[in-house]
């Protein structure tokens, strides 16, 4: 069952790559460029976290099969598996422009809000001192 799924997945990846990059179609160059960009982004978004999970699981398999125990390596593998969600989120924000734009705007607005609060606090302090004096 797993082999059938892997073969089917590989077929779709290779066929999609072939259709996107090696055949001429009756669509505009801009649409082709957008489809290629989206395909690359999805490939990165899939590949990077997959590697982050496959390597620790492969280590656990080898350690189990050879009856090898090393607490330091076990800890690193567990940390890598635990950080998979964070890695997936960071890759998604970096790869897709709408997410990246939203996050940068959100961080910039937070920064502007804090600087406004500081400047308004400084202005109020000056006014308070002037009233008290």
Model confidence over 60-96: pLDDT tens digits?
999 999 999 999 999 999 999 999 889 889 989 998 8
Q: Are residues 42 and 66 located together in one domain of the fold?
A: yes
Q: Are residues 41 and 67 located together in one domain of the fold?
A: yes
Q: Are residues 61 and 39 located together in one domain of the fold?
A: yes
pLDDT in the model for residue 131: 46
Q: Both tokens of residue 122?
A: 């400084």
Q: Are residues 17 and 77 located together in one domain of the fold?
A: yes
The domain of 63 spans 2-95
CA dist., res. 102 & res. 25, Å (int): 34
35: three-class secondary structure by DSSP: helix
Q: Are residues 105 and 91 located together in one domain of the fold?
A: no
Q: Are residues 82 and 131 located together in one domain of the fold?
A: no
Domain count, the chain: 2
- C-alpha neighbours within 13 Å on the C-beta side of residue 42: 9
Q: Are residues 22 and 67 located together in one domain of the fold?
A: yes
Q: Are residues 71 and 126 located together in one domain of the fold?
A: no
- C-alpha neighbours within 13 Å on the C-beta side of residue 80: 19
pLDDT in the model for residue 28: 87
- Name every residue whose Cβ is closer than 8 Å to that of residue 77 and which is 6 or more positions away in sequence: 56, 59, 60
Structure confidence by residue, pLDDT tens digits, 33-61: 888 888 888 888 888 888 888 999 999 99
Q: Are residues 91 and 128 located together in one domain of the fold?
A: no
Neighbours of 49 (CB within 10 A): 20
Q: Are residues 56 and 114 located together in one domain of the fold?
A: no
Q: Are residues 79 and 24 located together in one domain of the fold?
A: yes
């Amino acid at each position: 069952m797993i082999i059938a799924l892997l073969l089917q997945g590989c077929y779709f990846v290779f066929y999609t790559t072939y259709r996107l990059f090696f055949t001429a179609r009756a669509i505009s160059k801009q649409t082709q460029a957008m489809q290629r960009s989206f395909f690359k982004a999805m490939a990165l978004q899939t590949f990077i976290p997959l590697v982050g999970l496959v390597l620790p699981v492969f280590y656990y398999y080898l350690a189990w099969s050879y009856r090898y125990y090393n607490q330091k390596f076990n800890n690193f593998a567990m940390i890598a598996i635990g950080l998979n969600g964070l890695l997936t989120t960071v890759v998604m924000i970096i790869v897709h422009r709408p997410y990246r734009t939203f996050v940068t705007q959100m961080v910039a607005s937070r920064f502007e809000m804090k600087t406004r609060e500081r400047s308004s606090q400084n202005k109020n302090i000056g006014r308070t001192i002037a009233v008290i004096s």
